[in-house]
Amino acid sequence: MTLLTPEDVGERLGVSAQTVRRWIADGRVEAFRLPSGQYRIDEEQIESMLIPVKHALDSGEL
């Protein structure tokens, strides 16, 4: 399991780290909270968010 920071996730998805933190607070993204208070997100979860978009692009839906 590879864990990413909100900054890493934001860079991959083209959004700010603050947006990623808001998604965590809203429950749209599941994250682990470290004892230091920092968040980590499983890379597989982020990759699964990208699959529908990739499929849509490949099939010409977008």
pLDDT tens for the chain, residues 1 to 62: 899 999 999 999 999 999 999 999 999 999 999 999 999 999 999 988 777 766 677 777 66
Contact 41, 31 (CB under 8 A): yes
DSSP 2: -
**What pLDDT is recorded for position 59?**
77
**What pLDDT is recorded for position 57?**
72
* Nearest one of 39, 52, 48 to 8, comparing CA atoms: 39
* Coil/strand/helix, residue 33: strand
Amino acid type, 19? T
**What pLDDT is recorded for position 50?**
77
Rounded-to-integer distance, Cα 16 and Cα 7, Å: 7
**What pLDDT is recorded for position 36?**
97
